[in-house]
Amino acid sequence: MSSFFPTASSAGGSDHGHRTLAEVGEFGLIDEITADLPAGPDVVIGPGDDGAVLAVDSPLVCSVDVLIQDVHFKPQWSSATDVGRKSVAVNVADIEAMGGTATAIVVGFAAPADTEERWALDFARGLRAECDTAGVSLVGGDVTRSAQIAISVTVLGTLDGRAPVRRDGARPGQVVALCGRVGWAAAGLAVLGRGFRSPRAAVQAQQVPEVPYGQGKVAALAGATSMIDISDGLLADLGHVAERSGVAIDLRSDAFEVAEPLQAVAAATGSDPLKLILTGGEDHALAATFAADRVPAGWTVIGAVHEGESAVTVDGASWEGEAGWNHYG
């Protein structure tokens, strides 16, 4: 199992400026960026063998995400460091949504042979930065050649003896609460798609999601009965909870604060800021259901669970238009 992580001296260093990956070679690249790889206490064997070994005392939670150039990121919009950070964040959010704690990731990295080595090293530097923020260890991976940049990240986590928080546990009489931002990444995408770079906060939200790390465990300990990572849009993702739980969910539009960057983007593009909030993806906030008196600090109640047809409504009415992102829609 090969793996990569930049050291302070190698990532973006002047000696590696314009060499391509074809000139560096697979093993040369690995050698450049595997030195001094930090490891968490549960890592028994890290990179260098055919597989990593982790010591865990409870069931593992596992998830995988794939990021493809010009689908999930555009090099002209996001730096390699941004892409590295995003690759970690979108995966760890899935473990958070299960009520778990992410501990380790493995990364598959594919790129054209004429990609500059500096891009790969900056990407790995972003991986390291977000791993540090999320509290996870990079324990292995692979590098190979492809027609365009493609990244696959598998994340492993633990439940520390708790039951996983699934999507099918919402019950009538409970409330729906949100932790994290929604609509910001969609606002950033709207801005970047028109060739602009402001509001900067919205653009940054599109480039690197701000995952509420640690809040999945907080929700689980508070008694969350269902939870989901908001990756494709709040309405779309809560639709999965409603369907799996066999309940109706109604959201209150007045529960959402429309931040100034969202107002600015909506005004500039002639759109509705509430649409950004309800249907915009890629923020990777967490939404969960709780008993009304069990909502933890830092979470905002945005709606309620009712008996009825499995659907998500807003202020008691059906939402007109797309509910979120669909890769094949």
Distance (Å, whole) CA 34 – CA 259: 41
Tell me whether residue 315 is annotated as binding: no
Tell me whether residue 94 is annotated as binding: yes
Strand bridging mode 300-306 / 175-179: antiparallel
DSSP 203: H
Tell me whether residue 96 is annotated as binding: no
Q: What is the DSSP string of 91-131?
A: HHHHHHHTT-EEEEEEEEEEE-TTSBHHHHHHHHHHHHHHH
Tell me whether residue 50 is annotated as binding: yes
Report whether 261 contacts 202 (CB < 8 A). yes
Tell me whether residue 293 is annotated as binding: no
Tell me whether residue 85 is annotated as binding: no
Other Cβ atoms within 10 Å of 225 Cβ, number: 20
Tell me whether residue 229 is annotated as binding: yes
**Helix or strand or coil: residue 176?**
strand
Tell me whether residue 231 is annotated as binding: yes
Other Cβ atoms within 10 Å of 311 Cβ, number: 17
Distance (Å, whole) CA 88 – CA 11: 18
Report whether 281 contacts 186 (CB < 8 A). yes
Tell me whether residue 65 is annotated as binding: yes
Q: What is the DSSP string of 18-61?
A: S-BHHHH-HHHHHHHH-TT----TTEEE-BTBSS-EE--SS-EE
Tell me whether residue 318 is annotated as binding: no
Give 193's contacts (C-beta < 8 A, 6+ positions apart). none
Tell me whether residue 36 is annotated as binding: no
DSSP 3-state percent helix, strand, coil across the chain (nearest 5): 35, 25, 40
Tell me whether residue 171 is annotated as binding: no
Instruction: Find the length of the chain.
Output: 329
CA-atom Rg of the chain in angstroms = 21
Tell me whether residue 141 is annotated as binding: yes
What's phi and psi for 146, nearest 5 deg?
-150, 175
User: Residues at the annotated binding site for substrate?
Assistant: 72, 282, 325
User: Residues at the annotated binding site for ATP?
Assistant: 141-142, 167, 231
User: Residues at the annotated binding site?
Assistant: 50, 63, 65, 72, 94, 141-142, 167, 229, 231-232, 282, 325
User: Residues at the annotated binding site for Mg(2+)?
Assistant: 50, 63, 65, 94, 142, 229, 232
